[in-house]
Structure 1
Amino acid sequence: MERRDIEIFLTLAEELHFGRTAERLGVSGARVSQTIKQLERRFGVALFQRTSRHVTLTPVGSQLRDDVQAGYQRIQEGIAKAVAAGRGFAGTLRVGFSSPLVGEAIMAAAQAFRALHPDCEVRIREVHLSDAFRALRGDELDLQITELPVRENDLSSGPALLRDPRLLAVSARHPFARRTDVTVEDLARDTVLVPADAPAYLLDALIPAQTPSGRPIRREQVLTSRQELLTLVSGGAGMAVVGGQATRYHSRPDLAYVPIADLPPIEYGPVWPVGGQTSRVRSFLKLLRAELDR
């Protein structure tokens, strides 16, 4: 039996109506009738009993349906998997994030992605700025949503997807804790703690090396997690420039978050290895943008 013959036979066995079968398969009623007659001549036995009002399967037709259906379903599933693999969706998509706000958006996009591409697993992991691109370069991630800018010869980046107002995290005992806002000039007052080993150009974009008047800003690199960084700040070891998300995810009685009046928001965007923007990556980014536009 040809594949189309099987489709017509199984659909008629389900619908038991020539007209509905033709409509469902997008063929003519004559094509359905002709195919069934050809199969019956080939097998030498009737597969359907037809009257002016009813169509029913014969015992042989019922047995043929049962025998063919399981194998045909496996064929269809195999074809679907092959098509998905050809389009780049079957397999695993590994996505990294560098902040809770981005992580929350990625989780929502991953749920939509899994529904759209059930044959593709999505794995999500956190990435620290102190080791910003090792996972991408080590083929541990396919895509990362991280702080911008990214200026790496072996990595490509897209436009900003998310923006987060910049705040200054200080100890609740710090004089700035009682301020309604601070400026870049104020950053020269105390040490500003920054992630160790983060790219210099990224640190300069997040925390300027000097104030507008030319005063140096003392930046001390600390190899630390986000929680450790905030603990150091709460103990008075220095200040830290953070995103507005900190008030939501890291609210603590021993910390104060003060808006920085003259610095633009922190921007987050996609990064992937050069030549690595696969169909999976493109589809995920489309869903992520849709999630963020809500």
Structure 2
Amino acid sequence: MELRDIEIFLTLAEELHFGRTAERLHVSQARVSQSVKQLERRIGAPLFARTSRRVELTPIGRRLRADLAPAYQGIHDGIARAVAAGRGIGGVLRLGFEAPGVADLVADLLDAFRERHPDCEVQIREVDFADPFGMLRAGDIDALITLFPVNETDLVAGPVVYTEPMVLAVPARHPFARREHVTLEDLAQDRVLRAANPPAPYWIDPPEPWHTPGGKPIERGEPLETFQELLAVIANGGGICPLAAHATTYFSHPRIAFVPFRGSPDVGWGVLWRRAGETARVKSFVDVAAKFPARSGSPS
């Protein structure tokens, strides 16, 4: 089976229209029909049900599409990676950040990559607070610096590039605001806010309900769509929220206090990319990150 015939079949399975398929692939409609007929003869069964008004996949056609589509995409991704490797690392690396402030905290890493590949431009993008993996999966960015751990079958977790303690963001008039520190057990004493539709909270098993390490239940607050919305709700007494310590500097607010955690493990920010999207630029950035000493931060 020729690769072009597979492309015609998959395109027709998507368009369900011979004319649009031919136009999209820049071939004649007769070429599309011929390719489909040859494939059906080889399979020994119809792949499409055709009437004067519509074209539909048969059950065998649907199964063939499900089997061929991932392999076909893998071939194209492999060719793209080979082309990128053959042409070098020039071009644009689109690097997303779950927390924009972390881009400043790993500036030395970004400088090291630019020095090694001066012909590659690094574009910094902020990802959606409520869906940090969305832009990566959509192909809008090439790699993502995000909070670890991450365990997603379609994504690859690379090296950690920055670590820092946690702080608890509380209203300025909250009793916790007068403390020198809090512990994870204190989370049971107030409503803990969260992002809307966040990825799986890997640090909790099981994710529902939330408990402190000592087993105390944690009240989960309303889901919030943006980080600025989160800060506004905290400032107005709507709850508390654990944050990475750089928030103390980057998101200072007159009505919010940031209280250090005692006994809480540090959090790490690491490099994440699509398993099917490992281009030469991504691989080179990961190589630099793996050899670059991870920076550590502390509350200001």
Structure 1 letter corresponding to 2:118: P
Deviation of residue 84 (structure 1)?
7.9
Structure 1 residues 193 and 259, CA gap change in structure 2 (3 angstroms): same
Structure 1 letter corresponding to 2:94: R
Deviation of residue 132 (structure 1)?
1.4
Give the 3-state SS of the residue equivalent to 1:201 in structure 2: coil
Residue matched to 1:27:
none
Residue matched to 2:237:
236
Asked if 1:142 corresponds to 2:121, the answer is no
Residue matched to 2:3:
none
Structure 2 gaps, min length 5: 1-82
Distance in 2 between the 1:240 and 1:214 partners? 19
> TM-score if structure 2 supplies the norm length?
0.63
Distance in 2 between the 1:226 and 1:116 partners? 34
Deviation of residue 115 (structure 1)?
4.0
Aligned pairs (5 A) from 1:1-294: 86-202=86-202, 204=204, 209-288=210-289, 290=292, 292=294
Distance in 2 between the 1:157 and 1:203 partners? 16
Structure 1 residues 283 and 157, CA gap change in structure 2 (3 angstroms): same
1:105·1:291 contact (CA, 8 Å) conserved in 2? no
Distance in 1 between the 2:275 and 2:197 partners? 22
Deviation of residue 93 (structure 1)?
1.1
Q: CA RMSD in A?
A: 2.6
Deviation of residue 261 (structure 1)?
1.3
Structure 2 letter corresponding to 1:121: E
Deviation of residue 223 (structure 1)?
2.7
Distance in 2 between the 1:225 and 1:236 partners? 17
1:88·1:278 contact (CA, 8 Å) conserved in 2? no
Aligned residues: 211
Distance in 2 between the 1:88 and 1:197 partners? 38
Distance in 2 between the 1:128 and 1:179 partners? 33
Distance in 2 between the 1:112 and 1:212 partners? 39
Give the 3-state SS of the residue equivalent to 1:159 in structure 2: strand
> TM-score if structure 1 supplies the norm length?
0.64
Structure 1 letter corresponding to 2:186: D
1:194·1:240 contact (CA, 8 Å) conserved in 2? yes
Residue matched to 1:76:
none
Residue matched to 1:25:
none
Give the 3-state SS of the residue equivalent to 2:237 in structure 1: coil
1:155·1:274 contact (CA, 8 Å) conserved in 2? yes
Deviation of residue 233 (structure 1)?
0.5
1:192·1:220 contact (CA, 8 Å) conserved in 2? yes
1:177·1:256 contact (CA, 8 Å) conserved in 2? yes
Structure 2 letter corresponding to 1:225: T
Identity %: 45
Distance in 1 between the 2:237 and 2:114 partners? 45
Structure 1 residues 123 and 177, CA gap change in structure 2 (3 angstroms): same
Give the 3-state SS of the residue equivalent to 1:157 in structure 2: strand
Deviation of residue 226 (structure 1)?
1.9
Structure 1 residues 229 and 203, CA gap change in structure 2 (3 angstroms): farther
Name the larger-Rg structure.
1
Deviation of residue 275 (structure 1)?
3.7
Distance in 1 between the 2:211 and 2:155 partners? 29
Structure 2 letter corresponding to 1:176: F
Structure 1 residues 129 and 266, CA gap change in structure 2 (3 angstroms): farther
Deviation of residue 166 (structure 1)?
0.7
